[in-house]
Structure 1
Amino acid sequence: MNDKNTVRHIIEDLLPLYEEGLLSEETARWLEAQTADDADYEKLVRLSGQSLPKPELPEPAEDYAKMMAKINRKLSLYQLLFMAISFVLAIRTSLLNESFGFVLWYAVLGFVTYLFYKQMKIVFFLSFAPVFLWSIGDSIYEIVNGSGDGGMGVFVFSPLLVAVVTASIHCLFAFVGSLMGLLALKIRKMGEESE
């Protein structure tokens, strides 16, 4: 590399600092002396004083809006799917049916829901609301038809209290599942950080 090229590269590097007034007096004087008699350097100084044109950002295309609408539809579909699974679990494996399979299934529901949404409140809602509604409906049905056998205190407690207790029990197991999901995410994150 010859001296002229080296000086040119140094001048190019110093010009932004010179324009901002960030060079020491000695360096600024040296730069001015180097560029004073050379037409190429003077042109370089003139060009560096001009601001670059700002690129025009394109307007969001209709494709973007369509893409976002498609994503929102898919998310809504997943939410409906989780809600449907939650209702099926509430109907098939609830305490009211004297089945204790809900323990495993609600832990799995809590685990999967937490991995998907990463929010405990959604796990709570998807595990509590369907069982609560199913329990109220079942209690009212038993009271209306007079077929209640006194199980779960249907006639002692109000249907609302029975529904809250039953849904809370189911929610507890979903919460345990969501804690396992949280733990799985933490372990995965620690594994990624250690790599």
Structure 2
Amino acid sequence: MNEEKSSAAGRLGMRLFLLSLSVLFTASMVGILVVRAKAATWPPEGAPPLPAGLWLSTGLILLSSWTLSAGSRRFSQGAGKVAANYLLVTNVLALVFLANQVLNWQALWPAFAARATALYAFSFFLLTVLHALHVLGGVVSLAVVTVKARRARLTLQGLSYAATYWHFLTVVWLVIFALLQVLF
């Protein structure tokens, strides 16, 4: 019975955690929509286009969600070592996603710094950096479950929490990406 209570408490905790993150990301996006609505011109004159690397970032995070799902399925089928390999690939894809985001920021930074596009630039960086910081937390979580899987100490509940968080970040990125495509 204690395990059931612990599991229910864990699920409630995860739901509350994701709800709080949803509020954070939603508030950030609404704030940007308000800035956009009040701007005389948007995008500002001379603002650079979005880097094409954002499409690669989207593909990477989608692929990482797929590999995590495949690893979770294999783990639930009792194939722990195969699952650990999928989790490792997921970790690598997550790190490549972050590296690609840094390249996207580097591509835009000189253009933003050279022009009077402060709110426009802030809006882009707020969304993408905020998401990247949470992805970094997801990488830590994925690394922990990967190590536990390699040592045959991973539980389905632990994997479920990490996977839920990662898939949440994937959905958040898709919303951010769509918003960037529409507003920028």
Give your verdict on TM over 0.5. Answer: no
- State the structure with bigger RCO (CA 8 A, min sep 6), 1 or 2: 2
> Radius of gyration: which is bigger?
1
Q: Which of the five TM-score ranges fits, normalised by the shorter chain?
A: 0.3 to 0.5
More helix by share: 2
